[in-house]
């Protein structure tokens, strides 16, 4: 049997992790929401063939990103290079409770040219079993590229492909809230594995509680997946895991990539055929571990 093929679409960036506002040095890493999930998924499930789909520039930082992705045993044959563009960069500062503040330099990011014009990658994605993307993926695309991708995903799904989606909502990336609501709602209607966060959904759609989010997504057809609810733990979208207790993190250093790592743990268990309870617990346990370290990516275990 051939390996399951998984493609994550999004932006990879250089990450500068700072120790407080007075820091004079930074820890340098490579991260990005869908890339974080791809890295953790490959570590948890090495039998899955994982590819990352993005565009990079031709600068030294782009080379650094590409090499870092390859070191994680993730395929980079669908990483394009865009002359005249560069890699995106962001800096994280965390407070004493692990809460983050970000500064971004991504206006010239090559990833913003992904699927721009005739989309060279889309037909190459036809052979993947699962395609994973987020609302950040959508937000950085030009409107025409976003529409092209959505139309292709509709066709991909009719041929049996599965779509996993996380509605990471970053207001600064969108022209306005109405555009974000329209585009994210359209993706929910195409989603087979939904991985929303209550905070994001509430901020964008005004849902007053997790039950309201689950009901709205159910109307869109999302019944497989989990709603991330912070320290209280995730909720199954189909209601099958009611009553599970999730131990909160006892050590919170940095909340960066907590949601992304949850997605990876959940997906690794789901794609391995584990029970829904086990999927939720696998995601939660990995997120708790990630909360205890600085930066998005845990050090690789020997």
Bridge partners (DSSP) listed for residue 16: 28, 91
Q: Which two tokens stand for residue 283?
A: 């995601």
> How many other C-beta atoms can be found within 10 angstroms of the C-beta atom of residue 90?
17
Which of these is catalytic: 19, 166, 260, 278?
260
Q: Which DSSP letter does residue 77 get?
A: T
Burial class (CB in 10 A: 0-12, 13-18, 19+), 117: exposed
The DSSP bridge pattern shows strands 130-134 and 100-105 to be: unpaired
Residue 192 is a catalytic residue: no
Helices assigned H by DSSP within the chain: 33-44, 60-71, 135-140, 143-158, 177-188, 198-205, 210-219, 258-271, 276-291
Residue reference for tokens 């782009």: 62
Give the separation between CA 156 and CA 160, rounded to whole angstroms: 7
3-state class (DSSP) for residue 281? helix
Alpha-carbon distances of 258 from 16, 148, 194, 255, 288, rounded to whole Å: 17, 30, 16, 6, 7
Calpha distance 15→22 (Å, rounded): 18
Question: What 8-state DSSP symbol labels residue 242?
Answer: T
Give percent helix, percent strand, percent coil of the chain, each to the nearest 5.
40, 20, 40
Active site residues: 260
């Amino acid at each position: 049997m051939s390996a399951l093929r998984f493609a994550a679409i999004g932006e990879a960036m250089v990450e500068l992790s700072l120790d407080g506002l007075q820091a004079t040095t930074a820890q340098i890493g490579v991260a990005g929401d869908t890339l974080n999930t791809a890295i953790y998924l490959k570590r948890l499930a090495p039998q899955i063939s994982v590819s990352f789909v993005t565009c990079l520039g031709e600068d030294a930082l782009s080379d650094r990103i590409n090499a870092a992705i390859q070191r994680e045993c993730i395929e980079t044959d669908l990483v394009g290079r865009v002359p005249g563009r560069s890699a995106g960069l962001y800096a994280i500062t965390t407070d004493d409770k692990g809460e983050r503040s970000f500064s971004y330099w991504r206006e010239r990011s090559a990833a913003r040219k992904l699927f721009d014009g005739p989309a060279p990658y889309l037909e190459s994605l036809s052979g993947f079993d699962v395609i994973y993307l987020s609302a950040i993926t959508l937000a950085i695309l030009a409107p025409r590229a976003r529409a092209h991708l959505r139309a292709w995903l509709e066709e991909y799904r009719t041929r049996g492909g599965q779509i996993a989606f996380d509605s990471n909502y970053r207001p600064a990336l969108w022209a306005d809230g109405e555009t974000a609501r329209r585009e994210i709602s359209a993706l929910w209607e195409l989603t087979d594995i939904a991985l929303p966060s209550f905070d994001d959904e509430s901020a964008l759609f005004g849902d007053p509680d997790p039950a309201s989010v689950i009901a709205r997504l159910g109307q869109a057809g999302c019944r497989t997946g989990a709603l991330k609810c912070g320290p209280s733990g995730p909720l199954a979208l189909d209601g099958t895991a009611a009553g599970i207790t999730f131990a909160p993190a006892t050590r919170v250093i940095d909340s960066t990539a907590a949601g992304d790592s949850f997605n990876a743990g959940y997906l690794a268990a789901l794609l391995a055929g584990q029970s829904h309870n086990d999927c939720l617990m696998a995601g939660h346990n990995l997120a708790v571990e990630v909360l205890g370290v600085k930066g998005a990516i845990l050090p690789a275990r020997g």
